[in-house]
Amino acid sequence: MVNKIAVLTSGGDAPGMNAAVRAVVRKSIFHELEVYGVYHGYDGLQRNIIRRMELGSVADIIHRGGTMLQTARCLAMLTGEGQARAAAALREHGISGLVVVGGDGSYRGAQALARHGLRVVGVPGTIDNDILGTELTIGFDTAVNTVIEAVSKLRDTASSHERAFIVEVMGRNCGDIALRAGLGIGAETIIIPEVPYDLDEIGQKILRGVKRGKNHSIIIVAEGAGDAREIGARLHEIAGVESRVTILGHVQRGGSPTAADAVLATRMGAKAVEALMNGESEVMVAAWHNDIILRPLDLAFAERPPFDRGMYDLADQLAI
């Protein structure tokens, strides 16, 4: 029976992580479990920075971006010795269940702790939406909204100056932010790692638009699909398109979670506590068809999440 549980956030921070931590803490206290916060991710676990959490510890954080528990990369967790030290730190406090909010790398750390007899549950917290088995990750919706807001501002300038704007957004292996934001903003072109692209064709498309009287174009590029500056230079070379490049960078990771993310994170955090109470381990919480369900943790390691080709084709059809 798990009666002391801990929560940590790991990997890149994502808006909504705080809402998830709050839900874990309050749901645990509601069920009369002792709950602890591990600060600075696995690095803090190595250093035994573990504090008992009370109701008030998580007051006033549901709407804040970042993570109150802080996050860190921790190379020691990749070693057997580091993993044993982390497990021992939890045991020292009598903690037998751990909720890890993070990406698939963080899940691997959790899996290593499970080999030391701890019960672990993963909660998908990453803006990239790149975890297999869940339709959504915490922070993705906020990041998409941040991109849409920024691009609407750029669009005003783009149309006043009659040029193309190339906007680079986050997404190393997964173009979901670019795709969803591009569809939401009505971008002329979306360049993502999942689909090969031809700059010649893109240049011709922009020129066709200009001929039709279009006074601007928005091109959204996921960072993993190519360097936005190089793409801009090539488009100029190939088609004489004048462009400005904006790299949105870390603003996409910040800000208050959207309502959708705060609610998702809250439901996921609570589900993780229920899972531990029911004796589950090595599972991840997942959003699936409007429900929050449990999935085997190792599903997240299996392969990349399927790419929504239909959404990509729709964006392409609408941006003729």
Establish if 175 lies at the interface with ligand ATP (CB under 6 A).
no
- Closer residue to ligand ATP (CB): 73 or 229: 73
Q: Please report how close the Cβ of residue 80 comes to ligand ATP at its closest, in angstroms.
A: 10
Establish if 78 lies at the interface with ligand ATP (CB under 6 A).
yes
Establish if 10 lies at the interface with ligand ATP (CB under 6 A).
yes
Q: Please report how close the Cβ of residue 10 comes to ligand ATP at its closest, in angstroms.
A: 5
**Among the listed residues 5, 35, 77, 297, the single contact to ligand ATP using CB under 6 A:** 77
Indicate if 60 belongs to the active site.
no
Whole-number Å distance between alpha carbons of 236 and 262? 42
Q: Please report how close the Cβ of residue 235 comes to ligand ATP at its closest, in angstroms.
A: 30
Could you give the C-alpha distances from 107 to 34, 121, 123, 125, in angstroms and in order? Answer: 23, 8, 9, 11
Whole-number Å distance between alpha carbons of 131 and 126? 9
- Closer residue to ligand ATP (CB): 77 or 283: 77
The region, left, alpha or beta by phi > 0 then psi within -120 to 50, assigned to residue 247 is: beta
Whole-number Å distance between alpha carbons of 304 and 24? 28
**Among the listed residues 21, 62, 112, 221, the single contact to ligand ATP using CB under 6 A:** 112
Establish if 11 lies at the interface with ligand ATP (CB under 6 A).
yes
Stretch near ligand ATP under the rule CB under 6 A, chosen from 19-27, 107-115, 182-190, 230-238 = 107-115
The secondary structure of residue 61, as a DSSP letter, is: -
DSSP code string of 122-184: EEEB-TT---TT-S--BTHHHHHHHHHHHHHHHHHHHHHHT-EEEEEES-SS--HHHHHHHHH
Establish if 302 lies at the interface with ligand ATP (CB under 6 A).
no
Whole-number Å distance between alpha carbons of 320 and 313? 11
Size of the residue set binding ligand ATP (CB under 6 A): 18
The secondary structure of residue 253, as a DSSP letter, is: G
- Closer residue to ligand ATP (CB): 80 or 279: 80
Stretch near ligand ATP under the rule CB under 6 A, chosen from 55-63, 74-82, 206-214, 282-290 = 74-82
Q: Please report how close the Cβ of residue 104 comes to ligand ATP at its closest, in angstroms.
A: 5
Catalytic residue of the set 13, 43, 104, 128: 128
Stretch near ligand ATP under the rule CB under 6 A, chosen from 99-107, 232-240, 259-267, 294-302 = 99-107
Sign (positive/negative) of CA torsion 252, 253, 255, 259?
A: positive
Q: What is the dihedral of CA 199, 203, 206, 208, to 10 degrees?
A: -130
Sign (positive/negative) of CA torsion 2, 4, 276, 109?
A: negative
Stretch near ligand ATP under the rule CB under 6 A, chosen from 24-32, 88-96, 104-112, 298-306 = 104-112
Whole-number Å distance between alpha carbons of 73 and 75? 7
Closest CB to ligand ATP: residue number = 105
**Among the listed residues 28, 57, 106, 142, the single contact to ligand ATP using CB under 6 A:** 106
Residue among 178, 226, 168 at smallest CA distance from 198: 226
Establish if 73 lies at the interface with ligand ATP (CB under 6 A).
yes
Establish if 8 lies at the interface with ligand ATP (CB under 6 A).
no
Q: Please report how close the Cβ of residue 315 comes to ligand ATP at its closest, in angstroms.
A: 24
Whole-number Å distance between alpha carbons of 177 and 220? 10
**Interacting residues with ligand ATP (CB under 6 A):** 10-12, 42, 73-74, 77-78, 102-106, 108-109, 112, 126, 128
- Residues recognised as catalytic: 128
